[in-house]
Amino acid sequence: MTQCCINPSILSADFVNLEAELQKISNADSVHVDVMDNHFVPNLTLGLPVVQRIQAVSPVPLDAHLMISDADRWAPGYADAGVASVTFHAEASIAPVKLARELRSRGSKAGMALRPATAVEPYLDMLSELDMLLIMTVEPGFGGQGFLDLTLPKIRRARAAIEGSGVNVALQVDGGITEETIVRAAEAGANVFVAGSAVYGAADPSEAIDRLRKAASV
């Protein structure tokens, strides 16, 4: 299994002082950037121009999570901008294999996300086309939600499929990750963890990252 990675979500950061907020998490593996369009999810955050500026000042690579409609059209632009990893939602893509290949061809790692109620089985045959599979552990759209334990069996099935396929695909979880829930997610097979409130709600975000990494590695 790929090593444990902690990717703090800036959805919980202070957007007015974003550059300073990014420096607080310089010990993270990546910065998780939530792009929402108020169509695919009922919230509006930021778009490509802001992501480009974040990339220019971030001390670690960007992990862009596109919670947007018409991913086939818009996701490649993030790869063109040099974002290290671009994750689109399977529910928002008409041709996910084609899109994953396009992201890779433009220099980004390709990730695909599934909502909590979306079955993983229809997508297992395309694992070789992906660098990361994201299992949402809350409904996408807002930070601060509680971890949905009902997603744990799906995480286990995804991990078993990845191991059985022999491909090197990271298994990411996003939503409600704390020092407590990260243990359950890791035991189920996840190895990349998105944490927003648990990091930026802490007195010392850097120390919070270290604690999460330790909890996931037990």
Q: Which of 29, 34, 63, 131 is catalytic?
A: 34
70 is catalytic: no
SS3 44: strand
Query: Which whole-number Å values give the CA distances from 145 to 42, 72, 123, 174, in the listed order?
Result: 14, 28, 26, 10
Reference 91, options 53, 40, 166, 125; nearest CA is 40
Distance separating alpha carbons of residues 121 and 58, to the nearest angstrom? 35
- Phi, psi for 63 (deg, rounded to 5): -115, 95
Q: Which of 29, 63, 131, 174 is catalytic?
A: 174
Provide the angle, in degrees to the nearest 10, between the axes of the packed helices 71-80 and 48-57. Answer: 30
29 is catalytic: no
- Phi, psi for 79 (deg, rounded to 5): -65, -40
Residue with tokens 């990271």: 170
SS3 107: coil
Distance separating alpha carbons of residues 50 and 78, to the nearest angstrom? 11
**Catalytic positions, please?**
34, 174
